[in-house]
Structure formats: structure tokens, C-alpha cells
Structure 1
């Protein structure tokens, strides 16, 4: 019975020792000379403490370090390198900053120096700075010009109204292959070179009203409008058959001159003929119609102005039978 009690007590003590927290760590029991259950607990705890501290990498003599008291090491984080495209852009920006910015001239002139804003004028400035250039149109109105300024080659419409131009030279419009309209209203022009406009293959409209012109110059066959009103054009101021071959002519205005005849033959394309306030005294029967062909009808010519002339329209009624309307003028 006593043996059973000791055996039960021994198992209880062994179970308690095995369940202890420090027993989980393996202890080399062979290092003890006398291994029994009656060991010195103080020495055993000290030895176990030495083993525990050593396994944690520290000895009893090592200084204790409190976690969190050391300063973090200084790291030099690497800066990401710029991409190849960014490097190229930066180099281009540096080059642009180093290069001086100089304006570049665009040649636009004709027949002149060909600098920016058109060729230079006699006033020492480019035409498109003196005048106003919009697309192919050049406006030089009311600038007190005494001559035609050199124009850009691409000029299509030229306006120089209300100036002091006295003469039109052959060279004023030389090589202007795109020029379609010239308006020189209200200048002081007394003479025009006979071939000043013949070298213009695209010319369609010429307005030279309110000047002092006595001779109408030769004009290309491409004309659609001619306005020479309010001038000094006399009986010899219009070339013989001057308008015969102008198959695109629509408007012919020669009012307030000194013309004493109707400048025939007139092209069939003509729509409007203004000859009022001249010196026309008579008209032939075939001026507008074909007396040999009574079926001929001139439908285009709807506007004929002969008022203000010393002519009696009632004396030549056969001259109007092919017209859609009778001319305006005196019938007495």
C-alpha cells in the first residue's frame, strides 16, 4: 500500500515538472553528476537562466538594450532616373534657351525686294504695311499716293481710290498674272500707257472713273466690266472696234464724257450700256440689231442709257426692234 502511494506521488510530481514553462527548453541533464529529483532549485534556476539568456543571443554580462531607443539608420533613397524622352525634351529646351530668337522674313513681294509684307514702296515701307492686304486683295484707298505702289505677286484685287495718282505706267502692273480687278476711282490720272493692261491675262474689271483721262487704253479680251465714267474721253478717245472681241463683256459705263458716237460693234454678251450725258447726236439702224436678219433678238442687252445726249430716239425706231427694252433718252 505504501508503494502505491509513493508511485502515485512520484507520477504527480513528474507531471507537474513536465508541465512547467521552463521544461519546454531542452536541458542537457547529463552535465549534472548526480541527477535526482532532490536538486538545488536555486542552482537549477540559475543554470536554466544562463541557458535561456544564451539562447536569446545574450549573456548575463551583455548590456541590456531597450527596444525602440536606437535611431533609425540614414538611408539615401535612390532618385528614379528620367526617361529617355524626358532627357531629350530637356536637352531641346536648353538648346532653345541658348539660341537667339530671330524673326524670319517670308518672301511675298512681286517685282520688288520680296520682303515681309510685300515689296517696299517709295515711302520706305512695305506695301502691306502702308496699305491693307486681305488675302489677295490690296486696299490703298485715301492714302495720298501719287503713283501705283509695287504689289505682291498674288494680288487679285487692287483698290487705290481717292488718291493723287497722275499716271499709269506699263511697269505698274507688270507680271501680275492673277490680277482680276483694278479700281482707281477718284484720282488725278491724265494718261495711261497704251499697253499698261494688256499683259494681265486674268483682268476682268477696270474702274477708272472720276479722273482726267482723254484716251481709253487697249484692254484684254477677258474684260467683263469697264467703267470710264466722268473723264475727258472724246470722239477719238475710244479705239475702233475696241469691244468687238470681248465676248465676256457685261457692263460698259462711259457716262459724263465727250463721246459723240456709240462705240460699235458691241458683243452679244453685253447687258448694260451707259452713255448718258455725252455728245451723241445720231444712231444707225444696225447699231444694236441686224437689219439683214429680222429673226435676230438681242435678249442680253436690257439696259441702255442715252439720256442727256442731243439725240432723238424716235428717228431710228428700226434700231430697237431686236431689243427687249427701248433705250432711255429723248423721243422728241
Structure 2
């Protein structure tokens, strides 16, 4: 743009010189000569100029404000429009110039910038702050699970995707995580034929019901985490379990099967915190290390809940962590129930 301005200004100065009367007279006198002769120097009274020594366009001519304004008006009258260069010509860009024309159908029109108050960002009615955009709803149906979720080896991570049901899983899945979603129900078919599945984590969903046999067909299942849901009944689980976490649910007095954990010889951790259970779900396997039942409705405990009153040599070394705090039970009323334990349960003693 700077070069264009300087070139036009040079032409204007040259035009003014050529239009002078003395220059015209000199040209008329020497037009028939083979060689043109010019004066070496220019004075105020002698406006002749040597054309061969005319300054290049880069020379900075002193230009008045009027000339700048005239040039700006000329530039405004010549809009620049893009023209596409064909690929065979070696060019890869757009030519811009006053005489170029847009090839119809090849280039889209340049969008005009939004004007203030004419649209673009919606304005709120009274506060003047823009409204928060709505959260997009993901429609995962028909989409391959590993495009929707993250699959790493045998682990499938579907956390915080607004899911309302369990998506179809690859058959070689070993660990499945679908935390912080909107799943409301677990069907029997959700985990059918998942012979390698070892861990299921459905923390913080909206699960209200689980099919009674939803997990029984999983021969390798070891860990189930369904905390922070609305489950009222714990389903039947395989004997291979090592960790069960159903804390922060609505499990009541009939929400756990009788002797539900008896045959789980590898069970290590049982967490049923913050429910409505009114008894300790016995018998508990000898492998159990940690039992959390705080903030339930347990009021009584039998002497043989943890120990064998018929065998005083029986010692339960593994069960070191028992939490009964937050229950309406007085632990000091059943001291014989802890004689086989390495530690007394945590709870109220008075």
C-alpha cells in the first residue's frame, strides 16, 4: 500500500511538471533531434526536470494533507475483491487488486463483522450479561463405545458423559468406569458375557434398581462400586468379590440378602456407610479386613457377631478396621463380642 501511494504521488508530480509551459516549449523545439539535452540543475524559476534522473517510487516526496485526502478517496472508490488462482499456475493464494473480480461459485463471500446491537451475542433482558450456553446432549446410541468413551487396554472410561444407560462394552473389557452420569437402572443384559470384567465403578449416578442377576454371570468380577446412588436393595453377587462399596444409598433392613457374604472367601473390604441398615450382615468371611457401617440404624449386636464364643482360641487377625460410629448402639454392652479382634470397633461406648 505504501508503494502504491508513493507511485501515485510521483506520477502527480511528473504530471504537474509536464503540464508547465516551459517544458512544453522545450519539447517542441527539440522533438526532431536525435539526442535530448537537459539542464543539470533546477531552479525555482526554471521548472525543467531531467526525466532520466527521476527519483524512484521509494523517494519520500513532501505531500500536503490535501493530496493524502485525495488519495484516500481514490482508494475507497476501488474495492478489493478476491480472485482464485488455478492450481496449475503454481499459485496457492488469492490475488488482490482493484481490477480483480470474484469468480462466482469459487470463493465464498467475506462475512461482514457483526455490528453492535445487530445480533451475534444474545443479550439478556435486564442484567446485560450474556446467557450461559446450554450443555450439549450427547447421543451415544449407535456410536462405537470406544469413540464415545476412552479405551485403554482393557479399561473403558465413560465418566461424566451424561449417559442414561450402560453403553455396549467390548468383550475384552476388564475395568469399566461410568462415574458421574445419569444411569438410572442396571439391566441383566448390560454386562452379559463379559467374562473378563473385574471391576465396575458406577459412582454418583441415579441408579434406583439393579436386576437381581445383573452381576452373577461375571466369573472374574472382584470389585463393585455403586456408591452415591439410590439403590434400595443390594443384588446377588458372585463369590469372587474382594471389594463391595454400596455407601450413600437407600439400602434398608431388607436390602441385603441373608448370609449374602458368607461364601465370599476372598472378600477384603465391605463398605455400607450412610444407609438405613439396622443390623450387622453376618456371617462375615474370615478374609474380611475392613467393615464400614457408620451412620446407619444399628442398635444391637450379638456376642458371636465377630467371634466364636464356643472356641476362645479363635482369633480374627485380619479384621482390623470396624466402623460403627454414627449408629444408636452402645458398644460397651457387648464386650465379649470383641475378644477375638485385634482392635475394638470405633463407635459409642456410653
Once the two structures are superposed, residues 5-63 of structure 1 have per-residue CA deviations (whole angstroms, 9 ceiling, x without a partner) of 99999999999999999999999xxxxxxxxxx99999xxxxxx999999999999999
- Number of residue pairs the alignment of both structures matches: 309
Which runs of 5 or more residues in structure 1 are unaligned?
A: 28-37, 43-48, 83-89
Give the structure 2 partner of residue 93 of structure 1: 72
Structure 1 pair 62–158 and aligned structure 2 pair: CA distance change class (3 A)? closer
Distance of 1:233 and 1:244 partners within structure 2: 19
Please give the secondary structure, in 2, of the residue aligned with 1:109: helix
Cα shift at 1:244: 0.1
In structure 2, C-alpha distance between the alignment counterparts of 1:112 and 1:173, rounded to whole Å: 58
Name the CA distance, whole Å, in 2 between partners of 1:12 and 1:119. 19
| Cα deviation digits, residues 283-319 of structure 1 (max 9, x gap) | 0000000000000000000000000000000000000
Q: Deviation digits for residues 73-126 of structure 1, max 9, x if unmatched?
A: 9999999999xxxxxxx9999999999999999999999999999999999311
Deviations 1:221-250 (A, max 9, x none): 000000000000000000000000000000
Separation (CA, whole Å) in 1 of partners of 2:55 and 2:100: 82
Q: For structure 2, which runs of at least 5 residues remain unmatched after alignment? A: 103-141
Contact in 1 for aligned 2:279/2:300 (Cα 8 Å): yes
Distance 1:115 1:72, change over 3 A: closer
- 2:31 alignment partner in structure 1: 41
- Contact map agreement 1:207 1:226 (CA 8 A) in 2: yes
Q: TM-score, normalised by structure 1?
A: 0.63
Q: Is the 8 A contact 2:248 2:275 kept in 1?
A: yes
CA separation of 1:231/1:174 partners in 2, compared to 1, >3 Å: closer, same or farther?
same
Cα distance change on mapping 1:60 and 1:320 into 2, 3 Å: closer
Q: Provide closer, same or farther for how the CA distance between residues 111 and 331 of structure 1 changes in structure 2, counting only shifts above 3 A.
A: farther
Greater CA deviation, 102-111 or 228-237? 102-111
Q: Which stretch of structure 1 is more off in the superposition, 272-281 or 12-21?
A: 12-21
Structure 2: how far apart are the matches of 1:152 and 1:7?
A: 71
**Bigger-Rg structure (1/2):** 1
Runs of 4+ with deviation above 6 angstroms: 1-27, 38-42, 49-82, 90-123
Instruction: Sort the Cα spacing of 1:233 and 1:118 in 2 relative to 1 into closer, same or farther, 3 A.
Output: farther
In 1: Cα distance, 2:17 partner to 2:87 partner: 111
SS at match of 2:8: helix
Cα–Cα, structure 1 residues 70 and 171, in superposed 2: closer, same or farther, change >3 Å?
closer
Q: Distance in 1 between matches of 2:320 and 2:211?
A: 33
What is the CA-CA distance between 1:274 and the residue it aligns to? 0.1
The match for 2:35 is 51
Q: Conserved in 2, the CA contact under 8 Å of 1:112 and 1:150?
A: no
Q: Is the 8 A contact 1:117 1:128 kept in 2?
A: no
How big is the shift at 1:146?
0.1
Change in 2 beyond 3 A, CA 1:221/1:96: farther
State the distance in 1 between where 2:266 and 2:211 align: 24
